[in-house]
């Protein structure tokens, strides 16, 4: 094989290597990681869950950077560019910086075939393990038990909120899904459960393996009013906190879990109250209830399962009155699309349904069948086309919400953040 010369070449090579795109096993990844001798000498935090993983990771990164630490973050999927998956000191790494690590994985794997996700996870993990960092944060992709991230032993594991998703791989209910995600916990090490009503399987597994279980509402608490909030853990307390810069009703759950992580690691990673305040104030994560300035109002959100779309609907409802709301929506065929749309459908006046650049995606016609008769529907070849049509048809006082798959939100961000000025404004 000719050695790939660019990151795109390597990604294409990874795509072709394994006969299936998702192979639920961990043995191959563990063996290649052993051959590579990947070791994390700095604290390693692994974040699993259905919703809230990205926000929790972003808060952990922001707070620790405000405390003066150098932080590495592995997050996924990207909105536009693959390099978004690997951040060092708050910025995506350069594509060229990843090339030696792709080459190392290729050399180490021998005759072992890896999926694209496994291969790229190993390459990014190797980069982060060798970088001069004080903290590494790895976001789990699907589940936990067989996710490539679980090849590494976390010093602290986080389980965010758990909902029904990926049922064909993880099981049909919250109990079975929770048990899969709980496998990232390790004996004797902190396991932070941010879901306020976690499946019993998560708690039972933590106790069975002897993890240091931190439960929301038991080991750490948060509360507050419209102006400020407070948090208390086993030994620490923060009062008079401003709300996180990330918008949305569920962000205090994520922030609360992040603060529990820092308390659990306080001997290795001490954090000041000022770092907490500044970190929460400055945290940024595109595509999570992101409100873009301009007219009409534009909201971007990667919500794509019933729990996250219900949260989006709640957040939209809290924004106030808009004469008309248009939705630009695209989703994967294997998602519970009907369940996801149940809470948000009453808020949407016009649907702009989009094709997405992947075979897994539902077609606009399939989405229209789920939205149902009686709804005003337009079909588009791409999210960008859908957004342009929505802008052209909107008045300045209206609202547009782009939501669903990462491909949907990424599709409207590909050429940069949209700048809206409705044709009727002036």
Q: How far apart are CA 298 and CA 419, in angstroms?
A: 9
The DSSP-derived string for 266-307 is TTTS---HHHHHHHHHH---TTSSEEESEESEEEEE---SHH
Give pLDDT tens digits for 219-271.
999 998 888 999 999 999 999 999 999 887 789 999 999 999 999 999 999 99
Would you tell me how many other CB atoms lie within 10 Å of the CB of residue 425?
A: 13
The DSSP-derived string for 135-189 is EEEEE--S-SSSSGGGGS--SEEEE-B--S--HHHH-SSHHHHHHHHGGG--TTS
pLDDT score for 143:
84
Inter-CA distances, 296 with 267, 380, 419, Å: 49, 20, 10
pLDDT score for 282:
95
Q: How far apart are CA 43 and CA 56, in angstroms?
A: 16
CA-CA-CA-CA dihedral for 64, 160, 72, 21, to nearest 10: -170
Taking a C-beta distance cutoff of 8 angstroms, is the pair 40, 137 a contact?
no
Q: Which residue ranges in the chain fall short of pLDDT 50?
A: 425-426
Inter-CA distances, 301 with 310, 339, 406, 420, Å: 12, 17, 9, 17
Residue with token string 């599709």: 411
pLDDT score for 426:
46
Give pLDDT tens digits for 269-303.
999 999 999 999 999 998 989 999 889 999 999 99
Q: Is 240 left (phi over 0), alpha (psi -120 to 50) or beta?
A: left
pTM across the whole model:
0.91
Residue with token string 């602290």: 156
Residue with token string 């999570």: 288
Give 327's DSSP letter.
E
Strand partners, 193: 159, 215
Computed over its alpha carbons, how large is the radius of gyration of the chain? 21
CA 79 to chain CA mean position, Å: 11
Q: Which two tokens stand for residue 278?
A: 């500044």
pLDDT score for 1:
63
pLDDT score for 159:
97
């Amino acid at each position: 094989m000719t050695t790939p010369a660019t990151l795109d070449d390597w990604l294409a090579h990874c795509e072709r290597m394994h006969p299936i795109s998702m192979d639920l096993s961990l043995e191959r990844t563990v063996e290649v990681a052993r051959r590579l001798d990947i070791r994390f000498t700095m604290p390693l935090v692994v974040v699993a869950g259905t919703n809230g993983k990205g926000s929790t990771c972003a808060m952990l990164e922001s707070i620790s950077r405000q405390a003066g630490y150098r932080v590495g973050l592995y997050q996924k999927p990207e909105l536009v560019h693959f390099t978004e998956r690997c951040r060092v000191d708050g910025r995506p790494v350069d594509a060229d910086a990843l090339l030696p690590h792709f080459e190392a994985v290729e050399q180490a794997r021998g005759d072992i075939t890896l999926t694209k996700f496994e291969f790229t996870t190993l390459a990014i993990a190797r980069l982060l393990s060798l970088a001069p960092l004080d903290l590494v944060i790895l976001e789990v992709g699907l589940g936990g038990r067989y996710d490539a991230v679980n090849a590494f032993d976390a010093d602290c594991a986080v389980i965010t909120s758990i909902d029904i998703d990926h049922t064909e791989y993880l099981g049909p209910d919250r109990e079975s899904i929770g048990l899969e995600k709980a496998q990232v916990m390790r004996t004797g090490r902190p396991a932070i459960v941010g879901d306020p009503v976690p499946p019993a399987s998560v708690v039972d597994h933590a106790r069975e393996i002897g993890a240091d279980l931190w439960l929301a509402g038991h080991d750490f608490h948060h509360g507050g009013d419209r102006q400020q909030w407070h948090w208390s853990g086993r030994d620490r307390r923060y009062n008079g906190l401003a709300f996180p810069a990330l918008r949305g009703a569920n962000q205090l759950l994520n922030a609360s879990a992040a603060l529990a992580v820092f308390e659990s690691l306080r001997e290795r990673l001490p954090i000041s109250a000022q770092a907490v305040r500044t970190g929460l104030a400055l945290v940024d994560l595109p595509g999570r209830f992101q409100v873009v300035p301009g007219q009409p109002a534009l909201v971007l959100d990667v919500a794509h399962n019933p729990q996250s779309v219900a949260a989006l609907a709640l957040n939209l409802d809290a924004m106030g009155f808009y004469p008309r709301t248009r939705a630009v929506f695209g989703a994967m065929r294997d998602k519970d699309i009907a369940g996801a749309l149940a809470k948000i459908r009453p808020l949407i006046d016009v649907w702009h349904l989009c094709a997405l650049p992947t075979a897994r995606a539902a077609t606009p016609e399939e989405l229209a069948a789920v939205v149902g008769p009686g709804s005003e529907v337009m079909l588009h070849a791409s999210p960008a086309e859908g957004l342009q049509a929505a802008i052209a048809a909107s008045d300045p006082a209206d609202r547009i919400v782009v939501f669903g798959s990462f491909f949907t939100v990424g599709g409207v961000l590909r050429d940069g953040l949209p700048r809206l000025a409705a044709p009727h404004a002036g």
